[in-house]
Amino acid sequence: MADGRTLIFSSNRPGGYGGFDMFQSTLNDLGEWQIPYILDYVNTDKDDQLPCISAQGDLMYYTYNNNDIYSVVIPPKLRQFMNNIVQGYILDVDTKGGIGAEIIVTDALTSERVMSLSNNPSDGRYTIVLPVGRSFNIEFKKEGYSSFTHSMDLRNKHAYEEIPLDVELFKSIKLNLVVNDVDLFEPILARVKIREKGQHTFIKDVNNNPRTGRFSADLDIGKNYEVFISAEHFKSEIFELNASGLVIYREFDKYIDLAPEKLEVMIAVADLMNNSKVKSKVIIRNKSRDEIIEVEGNQLVSLRAGDRYEVEVTSDQGYAFNSTSIDLTSGKAQNINVPLQKLEKNTKLTLKDITFESNSDKLSDISFEELNRVIKLMKENPSLKVEIAAHTDDVGSDIFNLTLSDKRAESVVDYLSQNDIPSERFVARGYGESQAKFANDSDENRAKNRRVELIIVSI
């Protein structure tokens, strides 16, 4: 019988009713078959053969005298141990069509193999008969597909039951990658290349989504893959994805954190007049991404290759601020010299990136970063009084340029005064084109002449 512990067979032996009679034996707990006994409820003086037991275990089907098939109710005390039926379909998860697969049943406690069977490959249907009172693991697998294991606990089952279980297997996995900056935890644009291990040709070679850092790819099961991730000015990463063994989950999520390539940059801060080192604070703002670094001056700083930086240097040793930029887009290291001027009467500072709309006194947005440094300087030195001097190039008449420069100087003072600094600490003055620092013979030189300066009046 299907319980694996009850055996019914036909035999033409002495002690029967005549012809072939049916006998029954059971397997004890020691693994020994007991002495067979004749089945009085079914045997006749003719040939009684070919027994077949219903899945529920209460009916026997057999042949009588080789003429026809008959059935008989099995007495309860002679019935097999109770069975349950597990049945359903094994399907391709994408096509929903039936597929042929191997089914392996093992004892959940001992891992001993109980049975192996195959299903109907045309429609995927299968049937498994399992005895109650035990726990089983049922594994469904097919070459080139995923595997699926289902636990079936029948220890507390006391009645016949048909248990439906449909199984869906898949032929490919989905690799989901997210590529981030290891320092900033932000998505980055990366190139993802995938090939079978041992091969030279890449089956995937695409960029991820730079906004989310995400990349997805469908990969066939049954192969071992190498995945390469690279990004400009970042260190590359590689990992192995083995889909040739046991595959259970369809989606594989992987987070890759790439480390940026960095360059050592010396930021030298010195007195403008005597070139002696100045104790200073350096704020470095990355203009390519959201990053701010604060260090002391006159030391090496590790900065990202490929990025642009703005450097602001201040000192509490009686010096004015200064600012500069660092361009590492070429990927080559460079040293930066930042001179600081003493806060003394008549010290003149050219303010950087103070610009206006064409023929207008309206400050452009780019100007406010430098002006905010002036505000900080004024607040840290409450006795400081300065002149804001505005200059133009030679385009236009002298009178127009002088008037325009006066208005531009006033615009700067207005902005500074709006930030809790008394207006009497400022003097606004326009010089027009009268104090050109460069010959007005090119667009570049004219741009340099259009400037705003800060001159210390008293301290």
| Under-70 pLDDT residues of the chain | 1-4, 80-81
Q: Domain check: are 158 and 217 in the same one?
A: no
Q: Domain check: are 373 and 318 in the same one?
A: no
Q: Which residues make Cβ contacts (< 8 Å) with residue 77, sequence separation at least 6? A: none
Asked if the structure places residue 136 within a domain, the reply is yes
CATH code of 354's domain = 3.30.1330.60
Model pLDDT for residues 136-168, shown as the tens digit of each residue: 999 999 999 999 999 999 998 877 888 999 999
Q: Domain check: are 454 and 360 in the same one?
A: yes
CATH code of 223's domain = 2.60.40.1120
278 three-class SS: coil
Q: Domain check: are 242 and 271 in the same one?
A: no
pTM higher than the cut 0.85: no
Mean per-residue pLDDT of the chain: 93
What residue spans of 381-434 are helical by DSSP H? Answer: 398-417
Q: Domain check: are 447 and 359 in the same one?
A: yes
Q: Domain check: are 447 and 422 in the same one?
A: yes
Q: Domain check: are 268 and 331 in the same one?
A: yes
Q: What distances in angstroms separate CA 327 from CA 274, 309, 333, 339, 448, one per listed residue?
A: 27, 6, 9, 18, 20
Asked if the structure places residue 439 within a domain, the reply is yes
Q: Domain check: are 453 and 386 in the same one?
A: yes
Model pLDDT for residues 170-186, shown as the tens digit of each residue: 999 999 999 999 999 99
Tell whether the torsion through CA atoms of 293, 296, 302 and 304 is positive or negative.
Answer: positive
Q: Domain check: are 285 and 376 in the same one?
A: no
Q: How many residues does the chain have?
A: 459
Distance of CA 395 to the CA centre of its chain: 56
Pick from 110, 142, 169: which residue ends a domain?
A: 169
**Beta strands at 135-141 and 204-207: parallel, antiparallel or unpaired:** unpaired
Q: Domain check: are 66 and 115 in the same one?
A: no
The Cα 224–Cα 346 span in angstroms is 73
Total number of domains in the chain = 5
Asked if the structure places residue 1 within a domain, the reply is no
Look up the domain containing 68 and give its range.
6-78
pLDDT at 245: 85
* Amino acid present at 135: S
Q: Domain check: are 105 and 65 in the same one?
A: no
Pick from 27, 56, 78: which residue ends a domain?
A: 78
